[in-house]
Chains A and B, each alone.
Chain A
């Protein structure tokens, strides 16, 4: 009784013919798939998984210049920009985790974005979005304490890790 989940339990005789039928249909279906019988069925495209592309720029008074390496002497805010693709419709939570060169978590930043509900009859239920989070640098401990090196940035979507990127801060 206690170990029942580890035992094979023979089905009652009354159900055996039903079971045989299910097995037969399954076998035929498998055979059919492998021999081209399904060619007349509509093609079902597997959903493309959501993806995130992370880029960085220096948010200064005169715009935001992109790059992968920034000098603390001129970096004001490090903008972390995430371009999302193929995200299912609805509201989503994005979390950007920023790790110091020493491996410790410097800060996590939550934000939300919405993929609008698609109109009826649309062939897609996914969409794209872009977000920007600003990490203050000029005048902060990052600049004052010279926390240079390769910083790691990871991006989660609804709690699932989606992308990792590094950005270099130099003196």
Chain B
């Protein structure tokens, strides 16, 4: 019994040691994943995938339900294939191969050459035809908007074989290479179209019965590290990170990390280690940044100080440092997690250490967006932060640590407005949903947990319209709770168009939040007054059963710029001619005053019944930008707003219908700089001691809410411009994007 017991104990000890060893070994490395729609193990739903073909002899026909996709050289048919890449996390792409199963090959003696061309515009499986990429939206070039051929292969003349194209540069673009682009898939076409002898081939689509014959994309990649944090103290900056679990077949084990550091400015997206090259810490530089750490022992921490034995190039105190951490594999060629020559999406953090505790700072996390991001992120506290960007990408990250909730979704155009995010308990869709609108003229409902597009629509049916605003959402459940006159059971997404070619015929549109169907629209001109461009977020006024919209006014005051619409029908209820307005309106909780700021720097208090002006305040600045915020709930109302170089707070007495900037809670703060930096919309909540603004000097400022004094500064992106912040009250964090293509998150108060 004793021996048996010892044996059990030994085995248990061995198991424990093995478990510990396995747990200690990072699971990620260079991996391979084959993306193919199938239900057999390992199942891959490829939810965002799309397959169809377009036909020049039947230009209006959609083939989005066919099981075969044609390519034809004479009548010109082309096949389109897009893959759902969301199962591949943030990674550096090393190899990508597109494969299609050639069910019917050209006949004997008629072999052809087919190219794979990256598609450059958003399209949909159910709408794409030879002439159109989306419902009511034509391709720029009939037959498909594509780049030149990425790769070409000969077809042969044998049926039931697989053809493959090397498409690595394209997939690197989808994952943020030096020239990033949206993932719109590929078009397969004959390299000599229009030739006389007709030859048709057929490929199996992702609706083919035999799953193994469906289109596939084989991708090899090195995942980036996750959970990168920086912790400053009086003498050091300590970086920590984790290695993600493998999601594919492991081809090469992990081989530690390489860390780049740069003082005073973010590390450029072009600073990326070259595969196959080894670098010497404190000696090697890459794109202006210094290699400060290189280890093959799979560390999860780096102490940037003399204490941490970084003897030759330790960080200095009172200096802002940016860091990027590159993972790498153990293959003979040493592959880094950079994407080709780009490090756009490689995790970055920023920190400063100092003996003065108040000067210590570190970002909670930083998320790369690929291009300028000045719109505030949307937020479901504790669940997801949805980030739109000029890169045509929408990303969902965890507000806690910045890890991916859903991988980037490609939209058709830039997202210049804050995504409106509703949680499942609030939304009529009963899922976490983000509503957003893009410069391509489309409105989207995106599942904020998965990134799947629930619907997308061009609500005006016109291609001259784009959107540069954030949609407003009439929430059915909120309306019911507040007893508002909105009685629909679905939510309503409200957007206004930006057709710069017209100062008269822009539109305000209400879109069903569940289906994407247009419920109503109000078009400028005709029975309505002329309507110039709409560039700000409408305000939903449940109290008065209204939607308030601000517009430009052709640079004058002869047409309306403040519009009151019926919350149920969209019918115009009242207007006011206030001159161009680029900022959003706001209505008090009691529904007794509407505040709007004009492009000439006036703050207007308006009657919510008639839109007539109660009073006007000339705010000693040349314009009002962003959205004014209310700092009190009752009259006299304190309203804070930003302008060209100032942030100020003013009171409005509803009884006397007068503004005042004298007395408690009112102030004017000129932003720092010889020429004051240009502030973002202020953000704050009643009850908070501070409000926050981003500025065009790359800093995020904390202002005392009662005095307006600057009580704290965070250096985010020196030289850049900081966008509208979002406050996360649950985590006491503030997030703001930048022109440098990142969203920075810091704890507050500073």
Contact = CB atoms under 8 A, between A and B. Distances in A.
Interface stretch (A4-12, A18-26, A29-37, A139-147): A139-147
B148 A104 contact: no
B582 A61 contact: no
A134 B500 contact: yes
Given A93-B118, A144-B582, A105 B626 contact: no
Interface stretch (A40-48, A112-120, A162-170): A112-120
Interface in B127-163: 139-148
Interface string A47-72: 00000000000011100000000000
Contact of A112 (B121, B371, B580, B626): B121
A138 B739 CA distance: 18
Interface in B155-208: 169, 179-182, 193-194
B147 A144 contact: no
Contacts of A145: 374, 625, 678, 680, 696, 721
A91 B466 contact: no
Contacts of A108: 179-181, 371, 391
A76 B372 contact: no
A100 interface: yes
Contacts of B390: 106-107
Interface stretch (B83-91, B501-509, B656-664): B501-509
A103 B721 contact: no
A93 B180 contact: no
A121 interface: no
B536 interface: yes
Interface string B346-389: 00000000000000000000000001101100000000000000
A79 to B, nearest CB: 9
A145 B554 CA distance: 20
Interface string B713-724: 000000111010
Contact of A110 (B120, B439, B580): B120
Contact of B179 (A59, A146, A147, A159): A159
Given A102-B739, A112-B146, A138-B533, A144 B720 contact: no
A156 interface: yes
Contacts of A139: 468, 498, 533, 535-536, 552, 580, 582
A110 B412 CA distance: 10
Contact of B147 (A92, A105, A107, A138): A92
B422 interface: no
Contacts of B194: 117
A130 interface: no
Contact residues of B: prevailing secondary structure: loop
A53 to B, nearest CB: 19
A102 to B, nearest CB: 5
A136 B441 CA distance: 12
Contacts of B372: 100, 104-107
A110 B552 contact: no
Interface in B519-557: 533, 535-536, 552, 554-555
B741 interface: yes
Given A100-B372, A106-B390, A107-B372, A93 B145 contact: yes
A146 B675 CA distance: 12
B374 to A, nearest CB: 4
Most buried by B among A76, A91, A97: A91
Contacts of B678: 145-146
A107 B369 CA distance: 11
A103 B719 contact: yes
B638 interface: no
Contacts of B374: 141, 145
Contact of A107 (B181, B193, B414, B500): B414
Given A91-B141, A139-B533, A104 B720 contact: yes
A110 B623 CA distance: 33
Nearest to A78: B500
Interface string B626-651: 10000000000000000010000000
B358 to A, nearest CB: 28
B181 A90 contact: no
B117 interface: yes
Most buried by B among A107, A117, A144: A144
A104 B501 CA distance: 28
A107 B533 contact: no
B125 interface: no
Given A110-B181, A112-B140, A136 B536 contact: no
A112 B741 contact: no
B740 interface: yes
A93 B147 contact: yes
Given A91-B144, A111-B120, A77 B181 contact: no
Contacts of B147: 92-93, 112, 158-159
Contacts of A136: 416, 439, 466, 468, 498, 500
Interface string B679-723: 010000000000000001000000000000000000000011101
Interface of B: 117-118, 120-121, 139-148, 169, 179-182, 193-194, 269, 371-372, 374-375, 390-391, 414, 416, 439, 466, 468, 498, 500-504, 533, 535-536, 552, 554-555, 580, 582-583, 623, 625-626, 644, 678, 680, 696, 719-721, 723, 738-741
**9 tightest A-B contacts by CB?**
A139-B535, A93-B147, A112-B145, A158-B148, A110-B120, A77-B500, A76-B500, A61-B503, A107-B390
Given A102-B720, A105-B741, A117-B194, 14 more contacts: A77-B501, A90-B148, A91-B117, A91-B143, A103-B719, A104-B739, A104-B740, A111-B140, A112-B120, A134-B466, A136-B466, A138-B582, A139-B498, A145-B721
23 contacts: A60-B501, A60-B503, A61-B500, A61-B502, A93-B118, A93-B145, A93-B148, A104-B741, A105-B741, A106-B390, A107-B371, A108-B391, A110-B145, A112-B139, A112-B145, A112-B147, A134-B500, A140-B416, A141-B375, A144-B582, A145-B625, A145-B696, A158-B148
